[in-house]
């Protein structure tokens, strides 16, 4: 039965709808230049009343022509606090007027332009001692920074804009003088001194470095001490390798503890698979819910190595679930991988809220799981341990399946079936919610990391679809991200590749192509890796320091060329390039490559000793010089079969090569025999007697 509506009510509804239409039209009226960009983050800001522009020569020239300060605001689409500042400040007409009247405002996607982010993040860190995103920097018309910080409230931001604008109008010389000093600091902050002294890369030094590194580790909860906690795959991969090669049981137990705690935690999506960027607490419970491609790629590789060492089937399930997530939610039909999934999603009433897609109320779980709820409650801590905020729970394991069997009155098989059923039921229920936004831009460096992780998973699990996805991605990079002159593009969106590649793109692509050769023995990928390395040397190398700039020599509109050496969540481009040079020197018997790698490591030897946790990928290279590093060359018609058997083992100090026929690559030259498949185990080109039995070859490696 229809309810009667009064005339007053009808009028109110009409007025409300009219206001909504006006608001929508008003929003559409405020279209700025970002509407022409492809970055999802920039497009999010295309309807702000701020007259945003993209970073380009035209925008920078406009600032100089009008003699206006520049607001450089850097963020990324999955960034929660970026959304908050947009809502509070950049969608405000009064703030927009202040910015439009007094500044040229430039929005930057840090993932699309990490070179710009590096420079202004460095400036903010010099000014404030810390950094983060959103990154908001005010610069002179020529781009030299004068002020910066991260998130500001609307009140703070208005005051900053007014103060900086007035100061530049009233006393420009003072502002310029400060910018000169700050810019000089930015240029000098990462200068690399060439180390001409002989450096001893030996066991005594590496043991001392690792002892220092141990002081920063949390042996109770895993990971680094204190919160927030980032997975830091590079650190854990190094520690796993060191513990294996130096038989450090305590350190190996620490790595396994960390991986188990992460897999059990809220940082790991218990229902849909995949990992969030970090946890805000020290127990891995409450994540910052954004999911990044680079985290999940590196964590697959890490869990693969841990599975090889431990044989723990739990790690195998983490690998498969993470790759299922990537395949389902971050993969384009052309074989490329998307960048990230947002931390925020919309509630039913249209509000953006962090983590709402992934959390549950007790009432929801009771309704969905029915009679199974009480068992589920114990398993995933629907109690004070698992409670988050606003009566929401984040699924969080604190006990292994085996330890719960008696209390739940279930066999292992019964519990495994239940857990699988719960995940299916809750996944289907969650799928009815409004999903977080996906940043569907494609980045070459991150794709290369994911390519490598599929290869690592294929090595140990043997699922042929993993190899197929890796090859498909490699073909995508080759077809769309490589230009005719042998250079790489950094990004790809809507069928277009536009931004010149950075050293990180070359570093990770070279690394991935070397790995692809080591799995397929297709020499095309090794030769392509070498060509990319030679291009990097020509266009990125600082011949004075023997390190690689982050930007190519064709980039001219930045105030500085930075050199990335610190291993963060993603290893530094220089450390990856140094490892690539080391490997290519062995494949091609190229002493120049080898000397470059060793000199790069020597250059930062003192930095490693002062702060080892920031140089763990460099330390992986360090290990190559401390103990024998083996070259394994397999030549013959059964080379692939024997290669697969070796790949199932964790042998981190080995370089694999092979051929099914005669090969011209130096490491394989003159080793082919039509009648037998031989395995050559060598160190620096000096080989033991070739063997045909894989067990004998592995025995030679273990010695």
Mean pLDDT over residues 638-646, rounded?
94
Q: Do 238 and 619 contact (CB within 8 A), yes or no?
A: yes
**Structure confidence by residue, pLDDT tens digits, 192-241:** 878 888 888 889 999 999 999 999 999 999 999 989 999 999 999 999 99
Nearest CA to 148 out of 126, 174, 180 is that of: 126
- pLDDT above 70 covers a percentage of the chain that reads 96
The pLDDT value recorded for residue 489 is 97
Is 57 buried (19+), middle (13-18) or exposed (0-12) by CB count in 10 A? exposed
The token pair at 636 is: 């013959």
Q: Do 575 and 198 contact (CB within 8 A), yes or no?
A: no
Mean pLDDT over residues 280-300, rounded?
96
Q: Do 448 and 508 contact (CB within 8 A), yes or no?
A: yes
**Structure confidence by residue, pLDDT tens digits, 66-106:** 999 999 999 998 888 898 999 999 999 999 999 999 999 99
The neighbouring-strand residues paired with 136 are 73, 149
The pLDDT value recorded for residue 29 is 64
The pLDDT value recorded for residue 28 is 54
Residue 25 pLDDT > 90, yes or no?
no
Place of tokens 């993603």: 570
Alpha helices per DSSP H over 86-232: 93-102, 114-128, 154-170, 172-188, 203-214
14-188: CATH topology is Glutaredoxin (3.40.30)
Distance CA 120, CA 105 (A): 15
**Structure confidence by residue, pLDDT tens digits, 392-431:** 999 999 999 999 999 899 999 999 999 999 999 999 999 9
Q: How far is Cα of residue 613 from the mean position of the Cα atoms in its chain?
A: 17
Residue 159 pLDDT > 90, yes or no?
yes
Residue 330 pLDDT > 90, yes or no?
yes
The pLDDT value recorded for residue 15 is 37
Q: Strand order of the sheet with strand 103-109?
A: 53-54, 103-109, 69-75, 135-139, 145-149
pLDDT band (50, 70, 90) for residue 703: low
Mean pLDDT over residues 619-632, rounded?
95
Residue 283 pLDDT > 90, yes or no?
yes
Q: What is the pTM of this model?
A: 0.91
Residue 520 pLDDT > 50, yes or no?
yes
Could you tell me how many residues make up the chain? 703
The pLDDT value recorded for residue 12 is 36
**Structure confidence by residue, pLDDT tens digits, 351-376:** 888 999 999 999 999 999 999 999 99
The pLDDT value recorded for residue 16 is 40
210-341+439-626: CATH topology is Glycosyltransferase (1.50.10)
Q: What DSSP line would sit under 634-651, residue for residue?
A: EESTTHHHHHHHHHTS--
**Where in 506-629 does DSSP place strands (E)?**
541-542, 547-548
Report how far apart, in Å, the C-alpha atoms of 635 and of each of 44, 386, 650 are: 54, 55, 21
**Structure confidence by residue, pLDDT tens digits, 124-143:** 998 888 888 999 999 999 99
The token pair at 254 is: 């620490």
Three-class SS state of 678: strand
Range scoring the smallest mean pLDDT among 112-121, 342-351, 592-601: 342-351
**Where in 528-677 does DSSP place strands (E)?**
541-542, 547-548, 630-635, 654-659
The pLDDT value recorded for residue 336 is 98
pLDDT band (50, 70, 90) for residue 3: very low
Mean pLDDT over residues 603-609, rounded?
93
- Of residues 315 and 29, the one with the higher pLDDT is 315
The pLDDT value recorded for residue 130 is 82
Report how far apart, in Å, the C-alpha atoms of 387 and of each of 275, 409, 489 are: 19, 25, 45
Radius of gyration, CA atoms only, the chain: 27
Residue 658 pLDDT > 50, yes or no?
yes
Q: Do 120 and 148 contact (CB within 8 A), yes or no?
A: yes
């Amino acid at each position: 039965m229809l309810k009667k509506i009064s005339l007053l009510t009808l009028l109110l509804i009409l007025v409300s709808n009219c206001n909504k239409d006006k608001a929508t039209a008003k929003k559409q009226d405020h279209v700025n230049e970002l509407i022409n960009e492809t970055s999802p983050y920039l497009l999010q800001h295309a309807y702000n009343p701020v007259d945003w522009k993209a970073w380009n020569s035209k925008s920078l020239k406009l600032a100089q022509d009008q003699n206006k300060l520049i607001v450089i605001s850097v963020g990324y689409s999955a960034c929660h606090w970026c959304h908050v500042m947009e809502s509070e400040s950049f969608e405000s007409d009064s703030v927009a007027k202040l910015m439009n009247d007094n500044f040229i405002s430039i929005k930057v996607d840090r993932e699309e332009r990490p070179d710009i982010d590096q420079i202004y993040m460095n400036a903010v860190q010099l000014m404030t001692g810390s950094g983060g995103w959103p990154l908001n920097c005010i610069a002179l018309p020529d781009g030299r920074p004068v002020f910066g910080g991260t998130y500001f409230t609307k009140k703070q931001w208005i005051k900053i804009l007014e103060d900086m604008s007035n100061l530049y109008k009233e006393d420009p010389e003072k502002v310029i003088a400060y910018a000169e000093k700050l810019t000089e600091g930015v240029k000098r902050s990462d200068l690399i001194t060439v180390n001409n002294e002989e450096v001893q890369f030996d066991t005594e030094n590496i043991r001392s470095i690792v002892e220092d590194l141990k002081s920063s580790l949390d042996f109770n909860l895993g990971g680094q001490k204190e919160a927030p906690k980032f997975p830091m795959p590079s650190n854990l991969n190094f520690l796993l390798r060191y513990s294996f090669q130096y038989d450090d049981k305590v350190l190996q137990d620490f790595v396994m503890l960390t991986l188990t705690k992460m897999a059990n935690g809220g940082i790991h999506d218990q229902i849909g698979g995949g990992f969030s960027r970090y946890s805000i607490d020290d127990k891995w419970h409450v994540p910052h819910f954004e999911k990044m491609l680079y985290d999940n790629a590196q964590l697959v590789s890490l869990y693969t190595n841990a599975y090889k060492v431990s044989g723990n089937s739990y790690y195998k399930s983490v690998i498969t679930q993470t790759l299922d997530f990537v395949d389902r939610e971050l993969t384009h039909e052309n074989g490329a991988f998307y960048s990230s999934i947002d931390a925020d999603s919309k509630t039913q009433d249209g509000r953006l809220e962090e983590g709402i897609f992934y959390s549950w109320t007790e009432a929801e779980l009771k309704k969905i799981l029915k009679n199974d709820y009480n068992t589920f409650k114990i398993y995933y801590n629907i109690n004070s341990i698992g409670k988050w905020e606003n009566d929401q729970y984040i699924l969080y394991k604190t006990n292994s399946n085996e330890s719960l069997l008696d209390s739940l009155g279930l066999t292992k098989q019964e519990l495994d079936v239940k857990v699988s059923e719960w995940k299916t039921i809750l996944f289907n229920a969650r799928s009815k919610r409004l999903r977080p936004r996906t940043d569907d831009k494609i980045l070459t460096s991150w794709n290369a990391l994911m390519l490598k992780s599929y290869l690592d998973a294929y090595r140990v699990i043997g699922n042929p679809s993993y190899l197929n996805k890796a090859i498909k991605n490699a073909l995508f990079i080759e077809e769309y991200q490589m230009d005719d002159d042998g250079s790489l593009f950094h990004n790809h969106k809507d069928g277009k590749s536009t931004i010149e590649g950075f050293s990180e793109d070359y570093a990770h692509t070279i690394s991935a192509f070397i790995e692809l050769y080591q799995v397929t023995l297709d020499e095309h990928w090794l030769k392509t890796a070498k060509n990319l390395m030679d291009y990097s040397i020509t266009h990125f190398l600082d011949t004075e320091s023997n390190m690689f700039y982050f930007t190519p020599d064709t980039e001219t509109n930045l105030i500085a060329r930075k050199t990335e050496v610190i291993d963060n969540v993603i290893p530094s481009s220089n450390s990856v390039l140094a490892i690539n040079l080391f490997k290519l020197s062995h494949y091609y018997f190229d002493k120049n490559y080898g000397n470059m790698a060793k000199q790069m490591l020597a250059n930062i030897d003192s930095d490693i000793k002062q702060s080892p946790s920031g140089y763990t990928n460099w330390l992986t290279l360090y290990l190559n010089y401390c103990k024998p590093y083996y070259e394994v060359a397999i030549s013959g018609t059964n080379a692939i079969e024997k290669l697969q058997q070796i790949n199932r083992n964790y042998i981190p100090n080995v370089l694999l090569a092979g051929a099914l026929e005669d090969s011209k690559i130096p490491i394989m030259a003159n080793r082919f025999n039509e009648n037998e498949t031989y395995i050559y185990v060598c160190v620096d080109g000096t080989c033991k007697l070739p063997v045909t039995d894989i067990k004998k070859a592995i025995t030679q490696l273990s010695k």
